[in-house]
């Protein structure tokens, strides 16, 4: 299963540079090298995580320190007009 996953990853992420037969018949050491290089390139090129200060605790911690900011303890439903 790992071999076919590796072949798929190289052909799919190789942007048309490789076909199935070429990768399947490639020597194992070369296929592993190619797979690692493609994987390395995609890891380097993916965007950095956006700094979300709420999940990292930055703005949330500042709001907790500030006594003027009080987050609501509950949410109410809008009243119905009859």
Other residues' Cβ atoms within 10 Å of the Cβ of residue 31: 19
User: Angle 35-15-22 (CA atoms, 0-180°, nearest 5)?
Assistant: 60
Question: Is 66 domain-assigned?
Answer: no
pLDDT for 15? 82
Question: Is 12 domain-assigned?
Answer: yes
Contacts of 6 (CB under 8 A, 6+ apart): 31, 32, 35
pLDDT for 36? 92
Residue 51 has pLDDT above 60, yes or no: no
Cα–Cα distance measured from residue 9 to residue 32, given in angstroms and rounded to the nearest whole number: 11
Count up the domains in the chain and report the number.
1
Question: Is 57 domain-assigned?
Answer: no
Question: Is 59 domain-assigned?
Answer: no
- What is the residue range of 22's domain? 2-47
pLDDT for 78? 67
pLDDT for 31? 92
**pLDDT bracket for residue 46 (50, 70, 90):** confident
Quote the pTM value.
0.53
Question: Is 30 domain-assigned?
Answer: yes
Q: What is the dihedral of CA 29, 34, 36, 39, to 10 degrees?
A: -160
Question: Is 25 domain-assigned?
Answer: yes
Question: Is 22 domain-assigned?
Answer: yes
Question: Is 76 domain-assigned?
Answer: no
Angle between helices 28-45 and 2-13 (to 10 degrees): 50
């Amino acid at each position: 299963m790992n071999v076919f996953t590796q072949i798929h990853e190289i052909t799919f992420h190789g942007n048309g540079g490789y076909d199935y037969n070429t990768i399947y018949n490639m020597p194992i050491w070369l296929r592993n090298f190619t797979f690692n290089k493609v994987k390395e390139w995609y890891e380097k090129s993916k965007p950095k995580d956006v700094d979300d200060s709420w999940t990292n605790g930055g703005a949330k911690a500042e709001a907790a320190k500030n006594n003027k900011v009080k987050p609501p303890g509950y949410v109410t439903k809008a009243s119905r007009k009859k």
